[in-house]
Each structure stands twice: as structure tokens, then as C-alpha cells.
Structure 1
Amino acid sequence: MREVDICILGAGPGGATAALHLANAGHRTLLLDRATFPRDKICGDALSGKVINELRRIDEQLPARLAASPIQVASWGINFYAPNGQQLAVPFKPHFDKSTDRAAGHIAKRLDFDNFLIEEVRLRPEIELLEGVEITQHERTAEGRWLLRTADGNVVASARLLLVANGAQSAFARQIGGHKLEPDHHCAGLRAYYRNVQGLNADNFIELHFIKDFLPGYLWVFPLPNGEANVGVGMLTKAVSEKKINLRERLHEILETHPALRERFASAERLGPVRGFGLPLGSKRRTLSGDGYLLLGDAASLIDPFTGEGISHAMVSGRHAADWAAQAVACNDLTVRYLQKYDAAVYRRLWQELRLSRAMQRLLAYPWLFNFVANRAANNPTLAETLSNMFMDLDLRERLRQPSFYLKLLFGRK
């Protein structure tokens, strides 16, 4: 049995980020994961500019190493397809020049990206990584330590503080953290890999299709290395239940029949099965800490309610968890009262963005408004550039809440 101050459950982006930041500060940690890396995880596979910023905070050289790796393709923007079929191209950086600019985003399979981070973890002597270890019991002793047991009752470790980053299905988050599945704050999704999808963007713009008879859900197509694509659908679990939608059937039907997609997928080959997943959304504030523990990433229900992005938020929470874990151990205060400072730090960074994304998610109930914005932006370069900046600058995204933005939408000129 290992006795440690800090143990991290889950070696995905949130847990790996926390371990790497703690290592940078000279702290030793135990990092446990039930999988053996490289391992797959169901995801959209997009890495936003926020992910790149968090990599840079770990090590200035990490973004360049990722950009030079064959596991990824650089992505320069998003193509939105409104319910009326109008396409709206939103580059991550207006007037970008691929020959001189750094890409603001990338796309890489989680199999590869998570292993990219784990390879960094393996280089750090401060981190002990144990793979293939599934913790099923979390027992708190009278002395305030956590005993971590496997299904056979074997105690793997004893820790003073747990950083729980073991994903959307975290038993700890449900049973001890009190995070319940709430259909209005949870997304159901499916993902499959394809080869030979026609018409992918030359600059690897990711595609988001808002199809009229599939709202409030959406379909995505994300280009990948080696001519592959990540294709999937997502919809609020509440809507799936109320509308009695079979997402697997609808995905197949849309790719077979939708005018904008059927020709593009006519010769496409699906690689492997269609796989489902659930996403606990960050559309409401939840408690992220308790006596002797912090919740990170998907286990903390921090997924963006509009885009479904979870990687960057996991990494943000991992950075703050490392900071507050180190401080809590140093001052020997692992009480919920002290650790709530972690909650405040995470929501200070993410809550405004999560709140705005929740508002944008609700706009999907009004396809006419979505159509209107897309039509106006397609004919108004100034407005299109404003929308582009919203994906890189949170202060600009705040304009969506201001009446003056809609006046510009109505009366803007080329």
C-alpha cells in the first residue's frame, strides 16, 4: 500500500494536467487509472485554443510539440450550417495566414492526445503512474485519510487528499460528491469514425450542422489525420427522452438522406462501431469539493453546454486543483471550508462562459433566430468577423447579451 499526500484518480486531460502542474511545483503525486495507455475515449476530438493555452501553462514547448506531431491536424475555424441550410464560415482568427500564423485549434483522436499527455507524465519523476488499476471503494478513515480499494478489497493507496478526475461516469462524483444525472443538464451523444468523407474543408474547419427536424440536437463532422473524420450527434438527454428519439437511427438516417450530407457520405466507410456516451453539462453550478477531495473535469460536470467541449475545462480545473491541493497540504487544512476556494477559482474562470453557452444552447429552440443570424452574417463581413472573434474572446461573446448587438445585426452594413 502506498501512503501519499495527494492521489489523483483518472489520468485523462484533467488528472494529467493536475499531476504535471504539481510536478512543476516539486510535489510528488500518485496518479491512478483503470485503463492502460494508450486507450480510446469517446469524444468529438477537437482541441480548442483554450487547450493550447493550458498546454503552454504546463510547458512552453508543448503546443509546438503537439503541432509538429502526426497525431493531429491544424484546424482554422468552424463551418456552421443553419436550419435553413445557410453556411456560415467562422475562422478562429480573421484573415488568417497558414504560412505565418499558429493554428488556434487542432483535432486529434483522444486515443492519441491523452497518450500525448501521458508521455509527458512518464517523464516526470515526481509522478508515480499506476495503470490498469480500478478503484471501486473509497473509504474515509477516522484520521481523515482515504483508503482506495479495488474490487477484491485490496488497498492500493492511502491518501490525505483526492483529486477525482475519473470521468463522466465517476461513481465518486455521484455517491460522495452528490452529482446526480439531471436530464436538463446532460447530453446524450454518439460518435463514429469514417474514411473517405467527401467535401471536407481544406483548412480543416470543423462542421456543426443544426438540422431543422433534429433540433435541439446537432450533428458534427470533424476532419482527422489520414483522411479520416469524427462524425457524431448530440442532444440534451431531456429532449431525447421527451421526443423518444433513437439517436443511432437518426444519425444513420441523416447521413443517408440529408441533402447536404448524403452525397458526401455515399462512398464513405465507417471504421468500427457507433459508440454512445453521456456528458454532464456545466449549465448549473455544482459543488466541486468536500472534506479531503476535489472534483475535476467531466467528474465535476464542467462540459460546455453549447459545444460539448470538455477537454479544455478539464485542463483548467486540473490547473486550479493542483494549485489549491498544494496550498491545502502545505497549511494542513483539507476541510471543505478551505477547499471551497477551489470551487470559487474554477467558476471565476469558467462560469461566465458556461452561462453564455447555456443561453446559446437555448437559442436552438428558435431556429428562425439561428437562420436570421446566419443569413445576416453571410452578407455582412463586419458582423461575420465579430462572430469569429466571439470564439476567441469571451468579452466579445458577451455582446450576445446586449441589445446593441442585435441592432447591429438588424442594421449592419457591408
Structure 2
Amino acid sequence: MQQHDICILGAGPGGATAALHLANKGIRSVLLDKAVFPRDKVCGDALSGKVVNELKRIDPSMPAMLGEQQTQLPSWGIHFISPAGHKLSVPFKHNYDPAQDIPSGYISKRIDFDNFLIEQVRQRPEITLLEGMDMAKIERTDQGFSLTDKSGGHQFSTRLLIAANGAHSSFARQTAGIKQESDHYCAGLRAYYKNVSGLDKDNFIELHFLKDFLPGYFWIFPLPGGYANVGVGMLSETVSQKKVNLKKEMLRMIESHPEFKQRFAGAELMGYIKGYGLPLGSKKRVISGDNYMLVGDAASLIDPFTGEGISNAMISGRWAAAQAELCLQEKNFSSGFMQGYDKAVYNRLWKELKLSRRMQRLLDYPWLFNQVASKASKNQALAETISCMFTDLDLRERLKQPSFYLKLIFN
């Protein structure tokens, strides 16, 4: 039985970030993962400006280190394509110069980005990284938790467990009581294609909202080496109600949609189409308890509108490390004391998640989406205002005010 003050279960972005912040504080931790890195993770592979900011918080040199990796592309924005085909382009930074400016976002396969973080973990003596550890049993003890792997040959005892083991975390379900709710859960598919034509020269990611696939969306994210991450996402509630076969619909759109048919004419599917689930942060949950905290997808913190989860996982990992430091200082691991973690995470993310949920609901009114995109495509000032709404929460508040749309329609 190995004894540790802090055990982190899951070495993805959330868990690795928590471990690195603890290391920066001089606090030791053991970081366990059932996989051996590098390992693949089904994802959209986009790294937003929020990810870049979280890397800076770990180490100011990390964004530059990421930018030097051959496995990434700098991305300068997002194209939203409305059901009527109007394109609303949202740059991450206005008046950007790709030749001189530092990118606000990147696109990198998760197998590469997660391994980039793990390589930073390997360099820290404060972190004990143990790979290939599939924890089959987690039991509460007088002092915290005990963890036992499938073989029974490895046992760990910890006063504080940080569960960062993803969307299918059995600990989150069984101990923390996090339920999978179809109206707060998204089903997604991802595939890698090579030689998709018409990709943006500045590597804008594309989110297509097709009228015969609403309220779902279709994405194309460019990747290095002529590859693209291509996929679809839709609320599980809708998939169930409408009996949607996502794989069949995805292939149908690629083969028959006028634009996609042309762009994928010379493209090749590399490997398989893979599915995954996205637990959305569209509902507040209790994400801590006696001797534990949930981080990232295990805490259901994915953005309801964009599907982004990496940055929110890293943000929650940072706050988990801050709370862990307080727990050790005060020798207090009670659920009441741990509520400081919940408050910190939701103080940072809830306003954003709530507004994204409202924007997600706009997809129920495609005519309104078309109107906004059409006006913005012809009006630079309006396009810039809407662009700012995606980075400025106070401006984004306007999106939930009926007066905003009335002015758009009648002006």
C-alpha cells in the first residue's frame, strides 16, 4: 500500500494541469492513468485562447514551447456557417498578423497535445507519474480513499483524491452522484480525413449548422500535414427522440451536401470514425465532497455551444490544486471546506456556461440564426461586435436580450 497526501486519477489536461500547479507549489502528488502515453483521445482537437492562457499560468514559456511543436497548427479564428449558408467569421484577435503575432489558439491532435503536457510532468520530481494503472476499486477509508488496480498488485492510499478520469468516470457516478442526463449530454463522432479542400489559409476552424441536421452541428478543423478533424455533435436528447444515426448522417452530409461533396471529392478517410460523449456544463453540479474533487469532463464542464472541454478541464485543474494546498495547510478535507473549490470553478465558468447554453438554444430558431449571420456577413461593424461577444462576457449578455434581435431584424 503506497500512501500519498494527493492522488490524481487521470493524466489528461485536467489531471496533468493539477499536478503541475501542485508541483509549482512544492507539493508532491501521484498521477495515475490507465493508458500509457502517448495515447489517443477522441476530441475535436482545437485549443482555444483559454488553453493558451492556462499554459501561461503553469509556465510563461509553455505557449511558445507548444508553438514550436511540429504537431500543431496556429489557428486564428472560427467560421460559423448558418443553415442558409451565411458565413460569420470570428477571429480570435482583431487586425491579426499571422507573420508577426503570437497565435491566440492552436489545433493539435489530442495524442500530441496530451503527450506535450505529460512531457512537462515527466520533468517534475514532485510528480510520480504511473502509467498503465487501471484502477478497478476505489473505496472510502477513515483517512480518505484507497485505490486498487485490476491486477490487485498496486494499492494506493490518499487523503485527497482528484478525479480527472473523464466523461465515463465511475467515481463521478458512483461516489459523487453525477448522473448522465440526455438534455445535458452531447453525442459526438470524430474522424480524420486527408486532402479536404477549401481549408482556411489562417486555419480558422469551421462549425456548420445545416438546416437538415439541427440542432446538431458539423465541424471541420484543419491539422498539420494536410489532415483535418471532421465530426458531428448533437444533444443526446435529440439523438434519442429523433432516432438519429450520427454516423449515417455524417457520411450522408459528406457525400451529398453540395459544398462538402466537392470539398471531400479527393479526400481520404484515415482510420475509423469514432464516437464519444460530452457531459455538458449546462447545469450546476456539486463537484466535490469529503476528501475528493472532480475535474474536467468528470465534473461535466464542457461548453454547451462550442463543445470545448480542454480549457475548462485545465481551469478546474488549477483551482483543484489551489484548494488542495488549502486542505493540506488547514488539515481539513471535509465536504464543507471543499466547497471553496466548487465556488472558485463556478465563479470563473458559470456565467460563460450559462450564456453558451442560451446560445445553444438559439439553434431551435434557425431563421434567427440565419438573420444574424446574413446581416453580419454584410456589415463589418456588426461582425466585429458579434466577434467580441465570444470573448467578452458582458457583450455576450446581449445575445439573450430580445431587443438585440429586434434591432437586427428591423434595421
How high is the TM-score relative to the length of structure 2?
0.98
Show the counterpart of 2:11. Answer: 11
CA distance in 2, matches of 1:70, 1:391: 29
Name the residue aligned to 1:345: 344
Instruction: Give the equivalent residue in structure 1 for 2:189.
Output: 190
Asked if the contact 1:93/1:389 (under 8 Å) is kept, the reply is: no
1:292 Cα deviation from its structure 2 partner: 0.5
Residue in 1 aligned with 2:313?
Answer: 314
1:216-365 equivalences in 2 (<5 Å): 216-365=215-364
Deviation, structure 1 residue 242: 0.3
CA offsets, 1:127-184, max 9 Å, x none? 000000011111111x222110112334421100000000000000010010111000
Distance 1:146 1:302, change over 3 A: same
Q: Could you tell me how far 1:407 is from its partner in structure 2?
A: 5.1
> Which string of whole-angstrom CA distances, capped at 9 and with x for unpartnered residues, describes residues 275-308 of structure 1?
0000110000011001100000000000001111
Query: Who is 1:26 aligned against?
Result: 26
Between the aligned partners of 1:235 and 1:210, the Cα distance in structure 2 is 11
Name the counterpart of 2:47: 47
Deviations 1:197-242 (A, max 9, x none): 0000000010000000100000000000111000000000000000
The amino acid of 1:377's aligned partner reads: A
Distance of 1:410 and 1:4 partners within structure 2: 60
- Aligned partners of 2:371 and 2:409 also within 8 Å: no
- Cα separation, 2, equivalents of 1:327 and 1:145: 16
3-state SS of 2:274 partner: strand
Query: What does residue range 79-158 of structure 1 map to in structure 2 within 5 Å?
Result: 79-141=79-141, 143-158=142-157
Moved more, 249-258 or 143-152: 143-152
The answer (yes or no) to whether the contact 1:93–1:388 under 8 Å persists in 2 is no
Match of residue 179 from structure 1: 178
Judge conservation of contact 1:10–1:167 (CA < 8 Å) in 2. Answer: yes
Q: Is the 8 A contact 1:33 1:133 kept in 2?
A: yes
Q: Secondary structure of the equivalent of 1:334?
A: coil
Q: What SS class does the counterpart of residue 167 from structure 1 fall into?
A: coil
Aligned residue type for 1:48: S
Structure-2 residue corresponding to 1:405: 404
Report the residue type matching 1:167 in the other structure: G
Give 1:122 deviation, angstroms: 0.4
Alpha-carbon deviation of 1:391?
2.2
The one-character-per-residue Cα deviations of 1:101-144 (angstroms, maximum 9, x if unpaired) are 21111000000000000000001000000000011111111x22
Tell me if structure 2 keeps the 8 A contact 1:383–1:409: no
Distance in 1 between residues matched to 2:410 and 2:117, nearest whole Å: 47
